[in-house]
Chains A and B, each alone.
Chain A
Amino acid sequence: MSYFAVAVGGFLGAISRFGVEQCFAGLVRSTGFPWGTLIINLMGCFVLSLFLTVALDLLVISPFIRLGVATGFIGAFTTFSTFSLETVQLLQKHQFGYAGLYLFSSIFLCVAMSAFGLVVARGIEEFHANKQQKEESVSDVEAQKVWS
């Protein structure tokens, strides 16, 4: 069952990555910078850490869905090999500035996006906890009214 979830996620993730790459193909051609892969990886890093944190701590979610979304879909959506190849190709074309910029943003910005996803997830959790506390105190007051 977990293999099935990963397979379905992998299928959809790979196709989605191809689709997004196609959307940015024109921009990549005109600028010579691999925007498509960078944007895919930045989005994926943010969503994965947001999803995993919320899914582990807050949502009651089937482990199969978690595997399908996280390991299958987002794992297949983002890619490391294309990033490596594009950096090597930029170096080969002697575009050292672009290669450095791409390397830096793929590594550090992606980690930053991942940290940002974690912060947002913690924010959601806090909001949720506060709301629950308020609801509980409101229902306490109401209960007292009924009893008195």
Chain B
Amino acid sequence: MELIIIGVGGIAGALTRFGIGQVVGSYYFKRFPLATFLINVTGSFLLGFSTSHIAGLPMSQVIIEHDGFQIGFLGAYTTHSTFAYESIRLVEDGEWKNFFIYLAGSAVVGLLSCGIGYILGAY
């Protein structure tokens, strides 16, 4: 049962990522991988928020949010492999400035948004 919940969350997450990539990516990819950047930042924020939101509640009450939303949806929504692949493509295209902005930006803004979500979720 747990696997089904995670898998269904995974379907929703992967489809949402694909959809956002279709809408945003087609306009902005050449200069900067904006779609993946936005996806990873918003996903990090939501995971931080959700984690402190369900902290302290008994596991039986939050099984859908933990397995389905956090592990399934957000885990599949955000992605590391595309992030790394786009990074080396930027290097191949000689876009060194965007490469460093993408790397540092994803790490710093991703962690910050996760931390902010974590703090906000406690209220």
Contacts and interface: CB of A to CB of B under 8 A. Distances in A.
Interface of A: 2-3, 6-7, 9-15, 17-18, 41, 44-45, 47-49, 52, 67, 71-72, 74-85, 87-88, 91, 103, 106-107, 110-111, 113-115, 118
Contact of A84 (B12, B71, B111): B111
B14 A80 contact: no
20 contacts: A3-B18, A10-B15, A11-B10, A13-B14, A14-B6, A14-B11, A14-B75, A71-B17, A74-B81, A78-B81, A78-B82, A81-B46, A84-B48, A85-B44, A87-B111, A88-B118, A103-B111, A106-B80, A111-B88, A114-B81
Nearest to B42: A81
B106 to A, nearest CB: 8
Interface of B: 3, 6-15, 17-18, 21, 39-40, 43-44, 46-48, 51, 71-72, 74-85, 87-88, 91, 103, 106-107, 110-111, 113-115, 118
B77 A81 contact: yes
A136 B103 CA distance: 45
Task: Give the one of B46, B84, B88 with max A CB within 10 A.
Answer: B84
Tell me if B's interface is mostly helix, strand, loop or mixed.
Answer: helix
Task: Give the one of A83, A88, A118 with max B CB within 10 A.
Answer: A88
Contacts of A47: 81
